[in-house]
Structure 1
Amino acid sequence: MSSDPWGRVDETGTVYVRTADGEQVVGSWQAGTPEEALAYFERKYEGLVVEIGLLERRVKTTDLSAKDATTAIEHLRTQVDEHHAVGDLDALKKRLDKLVEAVESRREERKAQKARQSHEAREAKEKLVAEAEELAASEQWRAAGERLRALVDTWKSLPRLDRKADDELWHRFSHARSAFSKRRKAHFASLDAQREESRKAKEKLVAEAEALSNSTDWGATAARYRELMADWKAAGRAQREHEDDLWNRFRGAQDIFFQARGEVFAERDAEQRENLTRKEELAVEAEKLLPVSDLKGARAAFRSINERWEAIGHVPRDARPKIEGRMHAVERAIQEAEESEWRRTNPEARARAAGLTGQLQDAVDKLEKQIDTARAAGNNAKADKLGRELEGRKALLDQALKGLEEFGG
């Protein structure tokens, strides 16, 4: 008979293992010595030790699922319970019990993590829905449309909730997008219809202007052309592809008439030259309004100058573009000052400019930290790449800061 601390072989070749519940039969060995029998079943035990050790590492270091881990534990527990090995089987059972506890703990952790992720995803989607519903009422068609498309991309990146909750939130989200799209479509359809009406109105004005172009009733026809010009301005803009052509025809018809009238009234050249002198004086007076420092005063002064300008009458045809160009330049400068003042006092534009500046500053700060981290880690290639990106962001930040300065801060 042969034995060791965990097992023995009796005179009949029966192998036993010692456990907390007493000796258990391992098997029968008839092919060799008792020592060989014990060595064989000890190797079986070592194999179980190795398998349990591998499973412990997998549970600890990999994302092995709780279901797969439980199946593996039960498989090993069956082998331990069948007593086909010689060794400290009770110690193996305790290790398997601890593995069960570890797997259950991980299961609870994952369950809690999944619950947290679901809660966070729900909050994120509720925020997306709230923003989409707010945007649905916006008339900033381009900006709101781009933001809604960005919200869709964000939605797709979030995990799904339970089916009912996800469907309810998506229904609200989709409804908000549809409502915005319908409003935008209706707006542009109305705008297209308005421009089509403008085109039809201007077609009629052009037809009448062209019909009058050969008139010799100088006074009445000139007055009618002034009325037609007022009607033209009141008609609004036609579609872009029609507006310039209609204007060229309209202006061309007037030019034909006024050129003919000018030829007939050649004797009035002296009067027109005098008109030119007076308009040049008004142009000088108007140009003194620049640069605009008092917008309200400049507007009033220019209006007065323009009324006197309109009252003067025609100037020699070859001088008209230059002298009118000088007045138009002053008018444009005043208009630009008005637009600048509007932009400067527009709180929404100021808020957008400030928000953009803040975002760019955050991006610059983040890139500088990343560059420092890369340099410290010896990753100069990454640091250089980030440095090039930083230069671009700083350039954008400089532009944003200059834009913000227009708002007085």
Structure 2
Amino acid sequence: MMSIPCLLQTFIAQEQICLKRLWVSSNPTWMVAYRPIWKRKRVYVKLEPPKDENNRGGEKVLTVYFSSTEIPIWILFFALGASSDKEVVDLIDFNIDDAGISNILVASIHEADREAEKKGMYFRRQGNAISFVDKLVKSCKFPPGESIQECISKYLFPNFSGVKQKARFLGYMVKCLLQAYTGRRKCDNRDDFRNKRLELAGELLERELRVHIRHAERRMVKAMQRELYGDRDLRPIENYLDASIITNGLSRAFSTGQWSHPFKRMERISGVVATLRRTNPLQMTADMRKTRQQVQYTGKVGDARYPHPSHWGKVCFLSTPDGENCGLVKNLAITGLVSTEVLDPLVDKLFDCGMEKLVDDTSTKLSGKNKVFLDGDWVGVCEDPISFVVELRTKRRHKELPQQVPTGYPDGECLT
């Protein structure tokens, strides 16, 4: 009697763009983007030509795109609590001795004044700026149901609790954009491995389970509504919840290879699971260390297929299939390690290393101090970044911090 070995399947790690950081780009226009998963929470600051027909050849102006609305950035600063133009310039914290930067800021002020004059409003008075933003947001194609205060609190940089802290982060976004525009900072590269994150088996299973649990929940609600419309008494919940929806959904995902899309609810993606080949141990190890980058084959892939210097020591340059997946399916090198999410709170330990709390006002100047970021969130500032990084690395060597917590001091900012 011949025995047929069962086929084992393994997950392929999915490469995704890191959404917990700012993205600076120059194509098709100069822009810095804050892009969480929820589209309503996304914020874009763009450097564009002025709208005034009489000033088309003048300096570019700064504009914010928030909640599907185009807002002059100077008006948004005043809506977030700024009281004067000088205070806004201090929030941006950029060297205004550069004539090009000064012209951009002055042009942005004039653009805000012109937009306010069209509405017959002086936005520098207290309360006028927030009313102006409220009218712009309410006049968009899909206006939110919340008030403008709730909209700013929930959707504009939700990681910050205070409005003044949101204004500081907006100023930091403008500073990053101006630095890139003047050549003091490089634009972010999508193909850099430092700008990517890997979705592992836990995250992929969690997303697929959420889809099928929502489906079962909708079916349960409809069954209970039919009982209520017929004036019948409700039975125990197990009579309405069909667990086979979740079981069959997961079985279908493993058998067909069609898994839920990370961002688009109605679409499915392939290449998430693969059959584990066990011809020899090396082949099995290679199958379990595969990564895949999802791209649209119909469009221009760009440099996604080509090796990047950041792949060195993390990805095998030779182990990639031929054909349409060449360069998109990679194998992690034996020296490549994947860090996972740290659940322990680290902010208190950062305070012990010399970090100061981020103040919730717009008048205190932070020039000369370095910003501290934790997983993409601005959590504080420090005066001596070198000693801060040394103390942090000392705690990591003494196992007071997880080993996978990286530390660095690039471009005058402490990133952790």
**Which TM bucket (shorter chain)?**
under 0.3
Give the structure with the higher percent helix: 1
Bigger RCO (CA 8 Å, 6+ sep): 2
Give the structure with the higher percent strand: 2
> Looking at CA atoms only, which structure, 1 or 2, has the larger radius of gyration?
1
